[in-house]
Homo-oligomer: A and B are copies of this chain.
Amino acid sequence: MAYELHYWPMIQGRGEFVRLALEAAGAAYVDVARRDDDEGGIEPMLARLSDSEFPRPPFAPPFLRDGDRVIGQTAAILLYLAPKLGLVGQDETDRIWTHQIQLTIEDVVDEAHDTHHPVGVGLYYEDQKPEALRRAEDFRKHRIPKFFAWFERVLDSNGSGWLVGRSTTYADLSLFQLVEGLSYAFPIATHRALGRTPRVASLRDAVRGIPRVATYLASGRRIPFNEDGIFRRYPELDG
């Protein structure tokens, strides 16, 4: 049976890390909230979220349904899926390490989100713009370079061009997505950072060139970046 991914249909957001894993593996899946028939849309997704029939309910999208199992939290979904999709090594040490990298990528994602919503998620960007300018400057100057330097060190140490072992893992797909998102939101700062971390830039290119990923990126299934997602292009926040 196909995996059922539940996530907001108008943005890449956190769900994109799961979509990328499913697409890269060629897995059969349904993107429930993007279906326009009777079984699709946001309402069935929200109904399932509050469905008391689920003894182990997710807190929020994204969540994945696999038969009678429902799993929320991006990193937990990938922890569950990756062995089935062949996107992580067999060795437990490799699995924990891959997960550790994923969690670190998600920390950057959180910080990227906070650049445009430092004061509160419930407020408009326009109502927190001075704070966003301050926070984005710190993110560009200190955080992006620090995180990228860590990924570069990991790639350098591993030596294969991939983050873990000798083949693609979900951590590689996620780092690709992070770099793509940051390149959209902060093109100047990200270009500068990538100039100092050539292995991170090469990994981005390598993932982009994976045939299934390339097909996905060129398809209508890949939602374009936009200003409702995590990575938003507000030129005043870049530099």
Contact = CB atoms under 8 A, between A and B. Distances in A.
A199 to B, nearest CB: 15
Nearest to A63: B100
Given A96-B71, A100-B72, A103-B73, A150 B57 contact: yes
Nearest to A134: B119
Contacts of A114: 114
B131 A118 contact: yes
A55 B118 contact: no
Nearest to A103: B73
Contact of A100 (B58, B118, B131, B153): B58
Contacts of A100: 56, 58, 71-73, 76
Interface in A61-113: 69, 71-73, 75-76, 79-80, 93, 96-97, 99-100, 103-104, 107, 110
A59 interface: yes
Contacts of A138: 120-122
B96 A120 contact: no
Interface residues of A, number: 41
A135 interface: yes
Interface in A209-234: none
A72 B84 CA distance: 25
Nearest to A133: B119
Interface of A: 55-59, 69, 71-73, 75-76, 79-80, 93, 96-97, 99-100, 103-104, 107, 110, 114, 118-123, 128, 131, 134-135, 138, 142, 147, 150, 153-154, 157-158
20 contacts: A55-B157, A56-B100, A56-B154, A57-B154, A58-B100, A59-B104, A59-B107, A71-B97, A79-B79, A110-B110, A118-B120, A118-B131, A119-B119, A119-B131, A119-B135, A120-B138, A121-B138, A122-B138, A122-B142, A123-B134
